[in-house]
Amino acid sequence: REEVGKLVAAGYKEVVLIGIHLGCYGKELAKEGKHVTLYDAVKAALSVEGVQRVRLGSLESVEVEPRMLQLMAEEPRLQRHLHLPLQSGCDKILRAMHRPYDTKRFTELVNEIRAQVPDVAITTDVIVGFPGETEEDFATTLEFAKKCGFAKMHIFPYSKRKGTPAAEMPEQVDEAVKSERAARLAKVDEELHQQMLQSTVGKVEEVLFEQPVDDEHMEGLCGPYLRVVVPGTAELANTIVKVKITGIKEDFLLGELN
């Protein structure tokens, strides 16, 4: 709370809560007899006078509390965006990665989230070419990504890290195959991203403006973590303004001040 207060006093309009295992917040404090979770941290951040936006960083997919979703649905300052790393849409590969979930659990969570927060933007990370990933495994990931309807996917070809179990696994995937799979998944990502942009056209979004695109246009981010460009000057920088979304250009939204 104190740190958020300092940021607000310094003029920051949006605070992003981040951590290596953000969803595990409070587990260390439990050893001291304190029972708090990420939900409590978000509530504390929102209680700071003058804070206008709070956004969550990357969460492990199995760590989203139901009451966090309720808060996101009810509190307009908590941004409607969740980053849930999937890593693979194939259960065989998830087991090889030692992930604590499978595609069934991930699907259940995505459905729970959208039931509570229908207009949420869900982004993710996907690794392609993990050792042992066959063409059939990758095809399963492609289909699962489409089914989830991610707003954005961050795609990473698997790379060996010295000393990790995966680096010593047999059936390492050829670099050219990794690149080809990443390109195919990127096509799906572009299709899904365009669908998300299209679903936003016609809505009024609050945009936090960041910097000029040119002398006559400004850009910023709306709640679902989509980039918006409007006619305007540098005076809009670091302000939050309601914008009517009027169209799409490439991978960003076009709008006009409401």
pLDDT digits (tens, 9 = 90+) for 26-47: 566 556 666 788 899 999 999 9
Identify the bridge partners of residue 125 per DSSP, sorted by sequence position: 154
| Predicted local confidence at residue 226, as pLDDT | 95
Q: Where on the phi/psi map is residue 75: left (φ > 0), alpha (ψ -120 to 50), or beta?
A: beta
| Predicted local confidence at residue 117, as pLDDT | 95
Identify the bridge partners of residue 152 per DSSP, sorted by sequence position: 123
Report the predicted TM-score, pTM, of the whole model to 2 decimal places.
0.91
| Predicted local confidence at residue 61, as pLDDT | 66
Kindly give the parts of the chain with pLDDT less than 50: none
Residue whose C-alpha is closest to residue 123's, from 89, 97, 149: 149
Please tell me the distance from the alpha carbon of residue 83 to that of residue 189, in angstroms, as a whole number. Answer: 15
| Predicted local confidence at residue 122, as pLDDT | 96
Please tell me the distance from the alpha carbon of residue 229 to that of residue 247, in angstroms, as a whole number. Answer: 10
Please tell me the distance from the alpha carbon of residue 220 to that of residue 205, in angstroms, as a whole number. Answer: 11
CB of 106 closer than 8 Å to CB of 150: no
| Predicted local confidence at residue 29, as pLDDT | 57
- Let me know if the fold of 80-199 is the same as that of 204-257: no
| Predicted local confidence at residue 98, as pLDDT | 93
Please tell me the distance from the alpha carbon of residue 120 to that of residue 110, in angstroms, as a whole number. Answer: 10
Residue whose C-alpha is closest to residue 55's, from 107, 111, 123: 123
CATH 3.30.750.200 for domain 80-199, yes or no, is yes
User: For residue 60, what is the DSSP state?
Assistant: -
Residue 237: other Cβ atoms inside 10 A = 14
Residue 151: other Cβ atoms inside 10 A = 24
Please tell me the distance from the alpha carbon of residue 68 to that of residue 118, in angstroms, as a whole number. Answer: 14
| Number of residues that make up the chain | 258
For the chain, which residues make up each domain, given as ranges?
1-56, 80-199, 204-257
CATH tag for 204-257 (out of 1.20.1420.30, 2.40.50.140, 3.50.40.10, 2.60.120.590) = 2.40.50.140
The answer for residues whose C-beta is within 8 angstroms of residue 227's C-beta and 6 or more apart is 219, 220, 221, 251, 252, 253
